[in-house]
Amino acid sequence: MEVPMKLLLTAFTPFGGESINPALEAVKQVRDKVTNLDIIKLEVPTVFSESVKTVIDAMEKEKPDFVLCVGQAGGREGITPERIAINIDDARIPDNEGNQPIDRTIYPDGENAYFSNLPVKAMVEAIKKAGLTSSLSNSAGTYVCNHLMYGVLYHIDKIYKGMKGGFIHVPYIPEQTVDKPDKPSMPLNDIVRGLEAAISAIAENKEDISVVGGAEC
């Protein structure tokens, strides 16, 4: 008999002038239980200072086995699990409270980078098996997405040793690209299916699989 476990699934509010965030809309539609994982959903403000605090407070309260943060990466074609977060904030645009840190270290006592300890390659393969476009990303950017991923992994390294965490980016949905005809998109129901496939891979893979997932540049 499978032992129930918990996964904290987070998503950001809309930002950058958008009225909708596909990450948040998809997370709302993810089932409350995927395989043996009870899904705890959390809306996160797209604000540097508040994002990490919001998620860490939930981690402390819920004590999940896994944390998967979801964000929008407009311009990407597929769903992209993130391999690494770096210790820098360098915002191209302000966050939702007008903060725009430039070349700022996130945690002075943190590592230069933290790798996700989720099975990111298994997640990519599971999304592909669901018939959706996916690839492994080696850059979560330098905006609030990377900030949150780094903050979660920092706290896992320092405090929540048994926990696993990471980040996954999703594309625009079609209604966001009406005035961006050169940008790819993915239907919301497909993003939901992709997230559930990734979550299933997290539940089913204690260790990551060894398949090609790198890039030349």
Domains of the chain: 5-204 (3.40.630.20)
How far apart are alpha carbons 159 and 112 in whole angstroms? 18
pLDDT block averages, 10 residues each, the chain of length 217: 85 96 98 98 97 98 98 97 98 98 98 98 98 98 98 98 97 95 96 98 94 72
Q: Is the pTM higher than 0.85?
A: yes
Q: Cite the active site residues.
A: 82, 145, 169
Give residue 33's pLDDT.
98
Give residue 2's pLDDT.
62
List all residues 6 or more positions away from 201 whose beta carbon is below 8 Å from its beta carbon.
119, 122, 123, 125, 126
> Are the C-beta atoms of 91 and 83 separated by less than 8 Å?
no
Structural tokens at position 123: 């997640």
List all residues 6 or more positions away from 58 whose beta carbon is below 8 Å from its beta carbon.
8, 10, 40, 42
How far apart are alpha carbons 149 and 116 in whole angstroms? 8
Give residue 1's pLDDT.
54
